[in-house]
Amino acid sequence: MDSVGVGEMPDADLYDDRGANTIGNLAKAAGGITLPVLESFGYGNLTKIEGVRPIIRPIANSTKMAELSTGKDTMTGHWELMGIKTVKPFKTFTDTGFPEELLALLKEETNREIIGNIAASGTEIIAKLGPEHVKTGALIVYTSADSVLQIAAHEEVVPLDELYDICKKARAITMKDEWKVGRIIARPFLGDEATGFKRTTNRHDYALSPPTSTVLNFLQWEKYDVISVGKIRDIFNGSGITDHHSIISNHDGMLKTLMLSKTEFTGLAFVNLVDFDALYGHRRDVIGYKNALEEFDRDLSDLIREIKNDDLLMITADHGNDPTHHGTDHTREYVPLFIYNPDLQGQFLPVSETFADIGATIADNFNVPQTEIGKSLLKQLR
């Protein structure tokens, strides 16, 4: 559940995130939220959630996890889930925009002018600069509080193949240490000034490869399936992934996960539902976030009916993104962990010291090597 945090971590003040609590604050601001499946998993015991009751006995093994790494971005969170501790945070250009030297190289490589070069909401910047882009063909370059360089272009002005090639060139340019952002993101859109511009589902991320081997690599090397659903493949730059399914929404991601639950495979299906973060957290849309969570809970009801005796369902997040918090950035929070199997009774587990306990549990289950951080929870499950 991308960005669905459960309350500030002890070091939240270092990130200007004191008071952040994604699920707790959005539920309060929305006047309550209805999540019967997640309530039965023990969600209401992890933090106060208006509309979600604490319970005595959950049907899942439930806890929350602290982030051991420095940072609160997508790659840091996902990489830690699979066993990597990030000490030095990725470069950001939120306050300054990108250096002129970098932009000059990008212009030279692409033969296109550049407009924007600020930290901005993707929907707002295409509304503001879309007409100029359509008229001139200049690339809309922007960033955010995350470690990203985003390039927006109208699909009828800059064809997708060209936009993707431009992003590959930007990725090569930003391999320089002082410019090394975590991701280059292609942000294609359609529409016109009269009817409005709207981003399409043809987004593509160009990430850095993980600096060391992850649990995904260990699974792949032992011939297990490692199936990406959503942007997981992009986040790991394809490293350790054996198959991939693109999605166009959270609901589509859950439908594909449901399909996989009915398919015979041996290994890991790793799913990212990005709408919580991209559509609602960053846009500070409390009601949209609430509705998306309630939709997810309904989809989860269908999914758990398909979980078989030899399956293990694990639900977590990669950081917070409190839609009631200041700014539009991620928030430094604990994340939930629910582990479900129909043969397990369920219980509350101690708080995990690192997201990597998930990777360690997966590695233990499949008897592949462990990474340097993380402790398996497999033997604690009941």
- Model pLDDT for residues 60-75, shown as the tens digit of each residue: 999 999 999 999 999 9
- Model pLDDT for residues 273-310, shown as the tens digit of each residue: 999 998 999 989 999 999 999 999 999 999 999 999 99
Q: What angle do CA 282, 75, 22 make, to 5 degrees?
A: 35
pLDDT surpassing 80 at residue 315: yes
Say if 12-84+210-380 and 100-207 have the same CATH topology.
Answer: no
* Residue 56: predicted pLDDT: 96
- Model pLDDT for residues 18-51, shown as the tens digit of each residue: 999 999 999 999 999 999 999 999 999 999 999 9
* Residue 289: predicted pLDDT: 98
Residue 149, helix vs strand vs coil = strand
pTM: 0.91
Q: Give the residue extent of every domain in the chain.
A: 12-84+210-380, 100-207
Q: What percent of the chain has pLDDT over 70?
A: 100
- Strand 225-229's sheet: what is its strand order? 243-245, 225-229, 267-271
pLDDT surpassing 90 at residue 145: no
* Residue 121: predicted pLDDT: 86
Cβ proximity of 360 and 375 under 8 Å: yes
The CATH architecture of the domain made up of 100-207 is 2-Layer Sandwich (3.30)
- Model pLDDT for residues 232-260, shown as the tens digit of each residue: 999 999 999 999 999 999 999 999 999 99
* Residue 314: predicted pLDDT: 98
Residue 101's contacts (CB-CB under 8 Å, 6 or more residues apart) are none
Q: What percent of the chain has pLDDT over 90?
A: 93
| Domain 12-84+210-380 fold | Alkaline Phosphatase, subunit A (3.40.720)
Give the separation between CA 257 and CA 358, rounded to whole angstroms.
Answer: 19
Q: Count Cα neighbours of 189 within 13 Å in the Cβ-side half-sphere.
A: 27
| Token pair of 171 as six digits | 């990725």
Give the separation between CA 315 and CA 317, rounded to whole angstroms.
Answer: 7
Kindly report the number of other CB atoms within 10 A of residue 365's CB atom. 12
Cβ proximity of 62 and 349 under 8 Å: yes
- CA neighbor of 64 nearest in space, from 326, 287, 295, 354: 354
For the chain, how far is it from start to end, CA to CA, in angstroms? 24
| Token pair of 161 as six digits | 């193949």
